[in-house]
Amino acid sequence: MLLPELKLRRDKIRALMAQEGIDAALITCNANLIYTFGRVVSGYLYLPLNAPARLFVKRPSTLEGEHISLIRKPEQLPDLLQECDLPIPHKLMLEGDELPYGEYRRLEACFPDTEVVPCGTTLIRQARSVKTEIEIELFRRSGVAHAKAYSQIPSVYKAGMTDLQFSIEVERLMRLEGCLGIFRVFGRSMEIFMGSVLAGDNAAVPSPYDFALGGKGLDPSLPGGVSGSLLLPGQSVMVDLGGNFYGYMCDMSRVYSIGKLPDEAYAAHQACLDVQAAVAVVVKPGVQCEDLYALAIETVSKAGFADYFMGVEQKAKFIGHGIGLEINEAPVIAPRMKQELEQGMVFALEPKIVLPNIGPVGIENSWVVTMDGVEKLTNCPEEIVEL
């Protein structure tokens, strides 16, 4: 990662720290290390307000460079700071919403005379919510690779497949195009593999996870996604795999069908495309997220599909979410979310409908907010493709 890019990201965090009177941050969670250092390490990035950042690394022990020091345990931090001519901070920020309790207390105990505050997660996620030009370019490249993999999906379908067999073949396409496989999610109880392939009524099965659609899953230990059931004529199949090609979670869903679907399915799918079009027209800096959600509900209600919008028995209470180094970042397009969009925010918009005895229809694309509108990052055909 280029040093000017890393400095730009760190300075965004520093600006937020200065507003809170924070002298330094200690960063150790993977996504935040990627953001501030450019890669995952085992260790700590120490980010002072008015001095260069310093990395104290446990593993890999071979990592070398300016402002990099080896460390065995966090209790060494105060002495190492003094060796680097860095003062012990008066107010230190930790990633309070991500660190395990024991690790947080251990780091806190390393600085007995320092005011330690847990707001690191909030401030860093706020900084990450507005992407830099380099981050946006990585999203563009991810969108191209994602679309290339999806364009090959019809070629891997074979009659008599289960949803699991189909999903494995689609996952293979994604990996061959360079998808890293790992799908980072923020939140203690949020888990996912590479995404989900949902067919027929399985798309309506409620999940404990805060996803747009659920799925039974293959085992109660991961209750979401494919169920191992046969793909049958008259069913729709939604492919919603994450496109992590450069560490950034591009998001895209497309719908396929096993033979022809009832007319209702194509009408419902068009209603979702209409929601996408209506929202895309009004997106620009300064628009509040809750207004976009209200517009989506109004559009799908006029089409007559509100009862099946974003689930059946258990409905998702959002139509879009920020994406980045994790799949669920700010902003969230949901009711009562008064956050205003800013230029450089990247989000996934996913209006979806689940029709009983047919399955899921709808669309999901990734978008970046521009100076006066929005740019679509995932570009490939959006109609229902018959397999």
**HSE-CB for 69 with a 13 A CA cutoff:** 20
Residues 20, 119 contacting (CB under 8 angstroms): yes
Mean of the per-residue pLDDT values of the chain: 96
CA distance 153 to 170: 6
According to the model, what pLDDT value does residue 64 have?
A: 85
CA distance 279 to 29: 34
According to the model, what pLDDT value does residue 12 have?
A: 97
Domain(s) of CATH 3.40.350.10: residues in the chain: 3-128
According to the model, what pLDDT value does residue 1 have?
A: 67
- Two tokens at 369? 């907010």
Kind and range of the H or E run holding 177: none
User: Which CATH architecture group holds 133-386?
Assistant: Alpha-Beta Complex (3.90)
| pLDDT lower than 50: segments of the chain | none
Cβ atoms within 10 A of the Cβ of 259, count?
Answer: 11
Instruction: Please tell me the CATH code under which domain 3-128 is placed.
Output: 3.40.350.10
Domain(s) of CATH 3.90.230.10: residues in the chain: 133-386
According to the model, what pLDDT value does residue 65 have?
A: 86
Tell me the torsion sign for CA atoms 101, 107, 108, 112: positive
- Which are the contacts of 348, defined by CB distance < 8 A and separation ≥ 6? 251, 252, 320, 321, 322, 323, 364, 365, 366, 367
According to the model, what pLDDT value does residue 189 have?
A: 87
